[in-house]
Amino acid sequence: MFLKSDRVLKTNLKTAHFELLAPANNKNTAIKAIKAGADAVYIGAPKYGARIQAGNSIEDIIDVIEFAHKYRVKIYITLNTILKDNELPDVEKLIWKLYRINADGIIIQDMGILKLNLPPIALIASTQCNNNTLEKIKFLEETGFKRVILPREMSLNEIKNISSNTKIELESFVHGALCMSYSGQCYLSYAIGKRSANRGECAQPCRKKYSLKSFDGKYIIKDKHILSLKDLNLSDKLEELIQSGITSFKIEGRLKNEAYVINTTAYYRQALDKILNNYNLKRSSDGVSYIDFEPDLNKTFNRGFTQFYINASKKDISTMNYTSSLGEYIGVVDFVKKNYFSLKKNILNNGDGICFFNENNELQGTNINKTEGNIVFPACIKGIKQGVKIYRNYNKEFDDLLSTIDIKRKIPVKIKVRELENDYIFFITDEENNTVCKMINKNFEKAINTKKAVNILEVQLSKSGDTEFKVVKTDIKLKTIPFIKVSKINEIRRELTNKLNKIRKKNYKSFFQKPIKRVQYPEKFITYKSNIYNQKAMEFYKERGCLIEETAIENQTFIQEKELAVSKYCIKNQLGLCPKQNPIKKFSEPYILIDEFNKEYLVEFDCKECVMKIRSKN
């Protein structure tokens, strides 16, 4: 429950509009996310997004925006890579195109964009901007950004502090994959293979195997996914996040499939609606989603779940023995025969994918060929033993359902009928109180069976067909009851909904960006960590009182001894070697991290700030 003793937040909860923000890698996924209940969708432009594989044509984005705006759903476009000088003119043209097709905002990292000739389109500071301090967020607010996407690493108390001291919109990740490092501050992919995360080309080095040894050469752990983290799941923290000042709740997953997006969006829609309804709070879009399935976060891709750092706790957040989907826990193997095994309670189906931890504690998987009661026939029996825990990481029946299900999203409307001296007048009103009407002359015969005539009117006016509307109430008050043919009633209803569509489109309001202001940057000296990759970005920081010591690491030939990642995640903590947990067991520091190419990196620990740093080694 909301605590009465809490300070009044920057947002008046009763006037705020809360947004569920879903990912989409293409047009079809975006539309399905909207149908499943998203209040907003973020999607990649043809180029320059931080997921290079998830670009979309302008034509497809137009289709998404047209569909979304019917429901007052916002569409944000990701342009959150750092940019070369020769790319900036193209980016400027692209932003103007996005503005002209009514995109609701652009998500950016490169401050050089603010030196371009921009249309008045809302600016959203990507989490890649390293928005990790109150001072930086105040700077972005004063500069003119509409919204800041907070780092996943922030605790509730840190969010509350920012919310209480700023007025800018705050967006928070609530679900999906976790990067080991602060976003925008990971250079491992570039250091290993020249694939820059800040250019949308991350090779996901945090999902690779590494070995770890002490500085004096003793192995601490070998060939494990030391840097891989579980997936974020804050579905039971939404109320606390609202209380802390978050108004946009973001699901990660622009590279995920439709089943994942539909399932997670529907699940968070239901969870968020319960809270909003309990406290009479408002969501930011219109319409109700009618979902003919039970959303379950365990049934689509997940590596197991963690709440990460939301409560300032770091317990059990890594996936050292696997990086693929773990899925939902099914049960323990009862017994094993030559080509099958038994579960005491079997809910597996033909075509499912299962996984389990083998004798080396590594995740191993196979498919299900068939089941007979509690007996399961896998494609491969190797590694499956009595007592082994079975997980389902591919639920064929669930995925098939989500691939064929036709989710409807409808905007509630009311229709009323009144009469004047010579005319009948039909009104239709939506939940925004947009109202249109149609008058028809009273040149109808009087109904013989008035009760039946009124019933026909109600039934036909209540039909919404394939439109985005659902008639939730009809109010017919007439002194003289006419007999109107069904075809004529349907025609009247269609004209009403068409008129309402036009007025809703006309009344759609998008945010217009305020002018960019020149305010002092909170840091004096700028290093490669500010990711300056072009002259415009350099000018931006210089104009704000900064001294440029280094440009982006992608500009540099030698990166020896540089910090390649800074993380709240701590290997020592996960291995039980944190001095607070185990002051006796120690290994000489700095630790040495060894990748699959036998390249070594230094791992340092700042226990005072409780962060881990990975540094390149000579």
201 and 158 assigned to the same domain: no
383 and 418 fall within a common domain: no
Domain count, the chain: 4
- More reliable by pLDDT, 311 or 349: 349
Residue 277, pLDDT score: 95
- Segment 352-405, tens digit of pLDDT: 999 999 999 999 999 999 999 999 999 999 999 999 999 999 999 999 999 999
For residue 498, the model assigns a pLDDT of: 96
Average pLDDT of the chain, as a whole number: 93
Amino acid at 262: I
Question: Does 139 fall in a domain?
Answer: yes
For the sheet with 591-594, list strands across it: 219-224, 210-213, 591-594, 600-606, 611-616, 563-567
Question: 289 and 424: one domain?
Answer: no
Nearest Cα neighbor of 333 from 374, 387, 393 is: 387
Q: pLDDT tens digit string along 413-445?
A: 999 999 999 999 999 999 999 999 999 999 999
| Within a domain: 92 | yes
- Same domain for 338 and 220, yes or no, is no
Residues 273 and 325 in one domain: no
pLDDT band per the 50, 70, 90 thresholds, residue 28: very high
- How many C-beta atoms surround the C-beta of residue 57 within 10 A? 12
Two tokens, residue 518: 């020149």
Is 216 found in the same domain as 235? no
Please say if the pLDDT value at position 7 is more than 60: no
pLDDT for 519 equals 96
Which residue's structure tokens are 């990740």? Answer: 173
327 plus 356 within the same structural domain: yes
Q: Residue 9's pLDDT is what?
A: 47
Q: Of 8-22, 74-88, 118-132, 468-482, which gets the smallest average pLDDT?
A: 8-22
How is residue 285 annotated by DSSP? S
What would the pLDDT profile of 211-235 be if each residue is shown by its tens digit? 999 999 999 999 999 999 999 999 9
Nearest to 238 by CA among 384, 19, 71, 44: 19
Domain that holds residue 349: 305-394
State pLDDT tens for residues 41-71.
999 999 988 777 778 999 999 999 999 999 9
Q: Are residues 280 and 314 in the same domain?
A: no
What pLDDT shows up at residue 464?
87
Would residue 6 count as lying in a domain?
Answer: no
Q: Answer yes or no: is 403 within a domain.
A: no
**Confidence category of residue 6, pLDDT binned at 50, 70, 90:** very low
48 belongs to a structural domain:
yes
Residue 358: which CATH number? 2.40.30
pTM of the shown model:
0.95
**What pLDDT sits at residue 11?**
55
Q: For position 4, what pLDDT does the model report?
A: 42
The per-residue pLDDT for 438 is 96
Domain assignment of residue 404, yes or no: no
CB burial of 482-494 (b: ≥16 within 10 Å; e: otherwise) equals: bebeeeebeebbe
Which CATH number characterizes residue 80's domain? Answer: 3.20.20.70
Confidence at residue 586, expressed as pLDDT on a 0 to 100 scale: 81
As given in the structure block, the two tokens for residue 74 are 């916002």
Structural domain ending residue among the three candidates 272, 295, 318: 295
Please say which residue of 447, 476, 507 terminates a domain. Answer: 507
State whether 28 and 62 are in the same domain.
yes
Local confidence band at 3 (pLDDT 50, 70, 90 cut-offs): very low
Residue where one domain finishes, among candidates 507, 535, 563: 507
Same domain, 321 and 459: no
166 and 88 together in one domain: yes
The three-state secondary structure class of 459 is: helix
Q: Is the pLDDT of residue 612 over 60?
A: yes
- Same domain (yes/no): 499, 415: yes
